[in-house]
Chain A
Amino acid sequence: MEWDALLLSRLQFAFTIGFHIIFPAFTIGLASFLAVLEGLWLFTKKPLYKNLYLFWVKIFALSFGMGVVSGVVMSYQFGTNWSVFSAHVGSVIGPLLAYEVLTAFFLEASFLGIMLFGWKRVGPKLHFFSTLMVAVGTLMSAFWILAANSWMQTPQGYAFAEDGTMIATSFVEVIFNPSLPSRFAHMVLAAYLTTAMVVAGASAFALLKNRALPESRTALRMAILMMVIVAPLQVVVGHESGVVAHEYQPAKVAAMEGWWSTRPDQPTILFGWPDETQERNHFEVAVPGTGPLLFGNAPDENLRGLDDFAASERPPVWIVFWAFRIMVGMGLVMVALGIWGAAWWAFKRLDTARWYHRALVAAGPSGFVAVLAGWISAEVGRQPYVVYGVMRTADAVSPVTAESVALSLMFFIVVYAIVFSAGALYILRLMSRGPDTVEQPPESDQPPGTPLGAAIEEAR
């Protein structure tokens, strides 16, 4: 392995996008959660929902800010570090990213201003509308970026121009490429689950500390409801995503599963230590013959193993294999916690189940771990290609010096370490304090934004 501009650029991209994805994964779900809270508050007028909204909106502001600044980095890195890629695919995925800016980024950024600072300046309905717009913006953004990424995984609808660059023959085919539906659904559900786990963890922590009891009990139930519905659904969607990957990116799935040889009756490997030189797994623990069950192949139809691909066409097996297992493991933890919580809820023992609360606090970050592991297995799994089967990562890198990239990578590591640990500290500090539960004077049932409501806010 040589420490050249290629390897360093790959590390830099992995590092910066790894940090970035943490924030959208959280804010996509949180924006929707805030919209639901504000809607409930408008509908029921219970101050509890307003207290929850005002609590989570602070955490949203911090996370969204970090998502924005780490996201701007991404829009320039395609050019600084992957200029050959940019020049070759710009005509195909460029418009998708342009649509992301036009339909999502401005919407989020502008209405965020009203959401955070407009509480006293607009009526409650318009404020709710702003929260909704932010939530819609996050989902649109996810759609476009997943469309671009999915096209890179399962490209179609393109041709080569005379100068060797790629052009779209059909943008409908480019956008609605085979892996988009399952991967978009998988990501949105992942974002919702990530948020549910954080909300559940923070609420359980408050309950353990006897703080903001009505608020925390309500938020905990909302999170459990999300978990118990979405976690099992995510297993189904994730499986579907795997089936699509198996059809279009068989080498990726072979690495995820740890299949070295091609045969019809592949095992399901629970544990193992893939060894790329000996082309086998050490310490393998497997359930034999379950492959056809998962992938629905006929008894005489082979499931391709890594031996079906030249070594130069294989992704790094160990990373993909383990990242995949970590993701699945976290998913199963969420399914279990959802069922456990629903059971306590049904038996009316949810608010006193201390061990369950402790488990939720421990599982608070499980969504982030799952999202990161999932993306690692998806992105490392499509190597050595940046556009699967079409353009190799090694051919995509910019003509910049290794020294430049080493220096920039170093700076990114230092700056991100400072900024994101401070951000994490502030978020955890807010969470440990819990929602403010000021007893509302009766007349402040007036919605904020109305003249009277504003006057009361002013007076307080």
Chain B
Amino acid sequence: MTDLATIWAVLIAVAVFLYVALDGFDLGVGILFPFAKDPKERDQMQAAIAPVWDGNETWLVLGGGGLFAAFPKAYAALMPALYAPIILMLLALIFRGVAFEFRHQGRNRGKKWWTIAFAAGSFVAALAQGLVLGGFIQGVTLVDGAFAGGPVDWLTPFSLLVAGALVCGYALLGAAWLVFKTQGELFERARGWVKQLALLTALSMGAVSLATLGVDPRVTERWGLTMTSVDWPVFIRVMPLPLVAGAICYLLWRGADQRRHLAPYLYAVGLFFIGYIGLAISLWPYIVPFEMTPGDAAAADNALSLMLWGAIPMLPIILGYTAYVYWLFRAKVDTDAAYH
């Protein structure tokens, strides 16, 4: 019988992954906004995500709210440590979120301004999430469970590298989503983006993976490596992971090349999944790296079980109507996409 804290750690990890896989393509579409040919193409790009972005962003609220509810001590330790990038992310998400409606309310100047706000908001939100992730992986300074470091501890070459990689990865998800949802000229352009971004993401993921090995000796050990020697049995067990990632990158490139519609997006999600597993291998069982395990940070058992009783019926229902909405809007976007 697994304990409640572990169950909740897995559930929150799933919520965060769903956020990345879903809102990742929304943000990616925003990041690709400047590369569209004309305003009409940008309208199509936005129409490809407009009915679903709000539901997608809700997974971020579940991630944050869930962390607060299930692991209050981890939430209390991490949020002050990552204060600046979290606030930056929230502000950027404000611009991104309102721009959907505002772009269609604004007249000439207003529309231009909200187009820029949408692209910049998406880009900065992705960047800030990367900084949060980087700051999280490298660990935070705690004394008695409370943050005791400085206001810019999160800002390191490592976190910047992770941020850059996440922007590439989201752009890849966005491009692959556009391949799935658009037709004609934009579909062709999106295929080209997927090919370029698959390569860029592969390179940056590789760089992040190598850099993560240097974050802490405990991580290096997980991968069967130390400064001086290789622990072959461990190394061989984890080695398939980067190989699978490489294979997925190739399939992704080929899927775009062969004009497949849905395959590139699914492969891109697969790539993120491999990265996620890699992260789990590096950091498990820490919910605040190298400081707190889920057990250390968990809320009281009665709180966790009350929430589990809510999550067991609600999550399948949520996934059910989310899937229905996606099914409803499964058609490709019209080339003369109009807003509601």
Which residues of A are in contact with B by a Cβ distance under 8 Å? 61-62, 65-66, 68-73, 75-76, 78-81, 83-84, 86-92, 94-95, 97-103, 105-107, 109-114, 116-119, 121-122, 161, 165, 167-168, 171, 398-401, 403-404, 407-408, 411-412, 415, 419, 422-423, 426, 429-430
Contacts of B303 in A (CB 8 A): 90-92, 94-95, 167-168
Proximity string of chain B (51-62) to chain A, C-beta cutoff 8 Å, 1 when within and 0 when not: 110110110111
Chosen A-B contacts, 17 in total, with CB atoms closer than 8 Å, are A65-B101, A75-B64, A79-B86, A80-B86, A94-B65, A98-B70, A99-B310, A101-B65, A111-B321, A168-B303, A398-B79, A400-B151, A408-B84, A412-B87, A415-B91, A419-B98, A422-B114
B17 at the interface (CB under 8 A from A): no
In the assembled complex, B300 has its CB within 8 A of some CB on chain A: yes
- On whether the beta carbons of A83 and B75 are closer than 8 Å, the reply is yes
Choose from A71, A101, A109, A415 the contact partner of B66 (Cβ within 8 Å): A101
B147: Cβ under 8 A from any A Cβ? yes
Within 8 A of A (CB), among B93-119: 93-95, 97-98, 100-102, 105-106, 110, 114
Could you tell me the distance between the alpha carbons of A419 and B101 in the complex, rounded to whole angstroms?
12
Are the C-beta atoms of B98 and A423 separated by less than 8 Å? yes
Q: Name B residues whose Cβ lies closer than 8 Å to a Cβ of A.
A: 50-52, 54-55, 57-58, 60-62, 64-73, 75-80, 83-84, 86-87, 90-91, 93-95, 97-98, 100-102, 105-106, 110, 114, 145-148, 151, 299-300, 302-303, 306-307, 310-311, 314-315, 318, 321-322, 325, 328-329, 340
Chain B neighbourhood of A426, CB < 8 A: 101-102, 105-106
Majority DSSP secondary structure for residues of B touching A: helix
| Total A-B contacts with CB atoms under 8 angstroms apart | 235
For A111, the closest partner residue in chain B by CB is B321
Contact B94 A69 (CB under 8 A): yes
| Apart from the given pairs A84-B76, A121-B329, A168-B300, 6 other A-B contacts in the complex at a CB distance below 8 Å | A83-B79, A83-B146, A105-B61, A109-B54, A171-B302, A408-B84
A419 and B79 alpha carbons, distance in the complex (Å)? 25
Q: Is A97 in contact with B68, judged by CB distance below 8 angstroms?
A: yes
Q: Evaluate contact between A399 and B147: CB separation under 8 angstroms.
A: yes
What is the chain B residue whose CB lies nearest that of A86? B76
Query: Are A94 and B69 in contact, with the CB atoms below 8 A?
Result: yes
The residues of B that contact A94 with a CB separation of less than 8 Å are 65, 68-70, 72, 299, 303, 307
Are A404 and B68 neighbours in the complex by a CB distance under 8 Å? no
Which secondary structure dominates chain A's binding surface? helix
Contact B314 A103 (CB under 8 A): yes
Pair B87/A408 contact, Cβ less than 8 Å: yes
Nearest-CB residue, chain B, relative to A94: B69
Query: Chain B: which residue is nearest A112 at the CB level?
Result: B54
Chain A residues closer than 8 Å to B100, beta-carbon distance: 65
**Complex interface: chain A residues within 8 A of B98 (CB):** 65-66, 69, 419, 422-423
